[in-house]
Amino acid sequence: MSGKRILVVEDGITMRMFYQDVLGRAGFVVEEAANGVEGLEKVLLGGFDLMIVDINMPKMDGYELVSRIRREPSLQAIPVVTISTEAKDADASRAYAVGANFYIVKPADPVLLVETARLLTGAQA
């Protein structure tokens, strides 16, 4: 049990459940937000070790959310993984440019997802 807290920002209900399931079993505490605005509200409350952000979302998309996070002094240090169905270089570059730390293509392999979360939060296997 790592007890590390992850905020998943994703508009798809099924995908949120997938993250809860996979990351929850690996000992992470997973919280959810259904869009960028909700994600920003939650992450501002603090206490998260990692954010996993979907790119294509209503209200505020992933790029916008990440760039806003990076403008918040209290959130500059939080690792952010962006996740998208697009395997295009341009999308990944844009995510890195706005401040993401890693880019994963959906649907993520559960093992890869757990390992990524462990590495980025400093949790032990």
Partner 1 sequence: MTNPLLARFIPEARELLQVSASGLLKLERNPTDETAINEVFRAVHTIKGSSGLFDAVALTRLVHAAEDLLGEVRSDALQIDSSLVDMLLDSLDQVGQWIDELERRSALPTDADGVAHRMAAQLRQRLGAQDQDDVPDDAPADGAPQGADPAPDGDVATLPPGFLARLSAPACLDAFRRACGGQAVHLVRYAPEPGCFFNGTDPLQAIQQVPGALALDIAAAEPWGPLEDLDPYQCNLHFSLLTAAPRPEIEQAMRYELDQIIIAPVRPRDLVRIEGEPSDGPIWDDFREAASAFLAAGRHDDLRKAVGALRSVAGPTLWRRQALDWLEAALSAAQPDPALVAALVAAAGSGRFDPAPAAPAPAAPAPAPAPQPAPQAADPRQELARSVLASQHRALEQAGYDADRLASVGTVVGNVLLSLGRDADRIAIQAAFEAAREARSVAPVLSALSAVLDGAPLHRTEAAPALPDALPPAFEEAAPVAGAKEPEGRIAPKSLKVDQAKIDLLMNLIGELVVSKNALPFLAKRAEETYASREMSREIKEQYAVIDRLAQEMQGAIMQVRMLPVSEIFDRFPRLVRDLARKLGKRIDLALEGEDTAADKTIIEALGDPLLHIVRNSLDHGLESPDERRAAGKSATARILLKAREEADSVVIEVQDNGRGIDPVRIRAAAIAKGVIGQEEADRLSDQEAINLIYRPGFSTAAEISDLSGRGVGMDVVLTTVEKLGGQVSVSSRLGEGTTTRLALPLSMAVTRIMIVEAAGSLYGVPMDMIVETVRVPRERIRMIKKAETFVLRETIIPLLRLSRLLHLPDQPRGEADAAVLVCHVNGRRVGLIIDNFREGMDVILKPLEGVLTGLGGYAGTTLLGDGRVLLVLDLRELL
Q: Which is nearer to partner 1, 64 or 106 (CB)?
A: 106
43-59 exposure pattern, b = at least 16 Cβ within 10 A, e = fewer: beeeebbbbbbbbbbee
Among positive and negative, which fits the CA dihedral 101, 122, 86, 69? negative
Q: How far is the CB of 122 from partner 1 (least distance, A)?
A: 3
Q: How far apart are CA 40 and CA 37, in angstroms?
A: 5
Contacts with partner 1 in 88-117 (CB under 8 A)?
93, 96-97, 99-103, 106-107, 110-112, 114-116
Could you tell me the smallest distance in angstroms from the CB atom of residue 86 to partner 1? 10
For residue 70, the 8-state DSSP code is: H
- 34 close to 11: Cβ distance less than 8 angstroms: yes
> Is residue 30 close enough to count as binding partner 1 by CB under 8 A?
yes
* Residues contributing to the site for partner 1 (CB under 8 A): 1, 5, 11-15, 17-18, 20-22, 24-31, 42, 45, 47, 54, 56-58, 70-71, 76-80, 85, 93, 96-97, 99-103, 106-107, 110-112, 114-116, 118-125
